[in-house]
Chains A and B, each alone.
Chain A
Amino acid sequence: SSPRFQALLGTGAAGGGHPKTSSPPQAARAALRLRYLRSLGAMRGLPVSFTLHEGGRVGAVVAAADAPPLAFQVDALRTPLGLQAAALLRCSDIIAYAFEM
């Protein structure tokens, strides 16, 4: 198994792995992840404001996120140095992001 998988699974959180039943940790993890993935879906095409490390703030329209996500593909990124048509923002650079729906 990958290190990421091992880290995610933690200790004592593994269920039987039977596809039709879930242990309480599996059910909780699934419900939390489903909601988060839906929030990513809802964000597509919306203007989003990002608070970055070192005090930076930028705005952009979110076009896509990879899974887990590690990065956002954004359009019309407004940076202090001007407008960038398409860019990738690293999640590790971001403290928070906000949007309205």
Chain B
Amino acid sequence: STRRSVEPPTERPGERRMVEMEKLYGAEAAKILAMETAMQLIFDKNCDKKQPKYWPIIPLKL
């Protein structure tokens, strides 16, 4: 952790993700990442609010 305090961050958060997305999806990467992020946000918000439990409790197939 001493290293981290000395060296400046070489990557902005999300930068690596965007590079991966561009390798996968080329020109459409930003659009797809935006759609996925929006979808995930709704999911996370729902889970915070409703506290849904997994059904069934134990996975059917491992």
A touches B (Cβ under 8 A): yes
Interface set of A (CB-CB < 8 Å, partner B): 1-2, 5, 8-9, 14-15, 17-23, 26-27, 29-31, 33-34, 37, 40-41, 52-54, 56, 58, 63-69, 71, 73-75, 77, 79, 84-90, 92-93
B-side contacts of A18, CB under 8 Å: 22, 26
Number of residues from B at the complex interface, CB < 8 A:
33
A70 and chain B: residue at smallest CB distance: B43
Chain B interface, >50% SS class: helix
Contact A37 B26 (CB under 8 A): no
Indicate whether B42 reaches chain A with its CB closer than 8 angstroms: yes
A2 and chain B: residue at smallest CB distance: B20
Instruction: Given A2-B20, A54-B60, A93-B60, verify A22-B25 contact (CB < 8 Å).
Output: yes
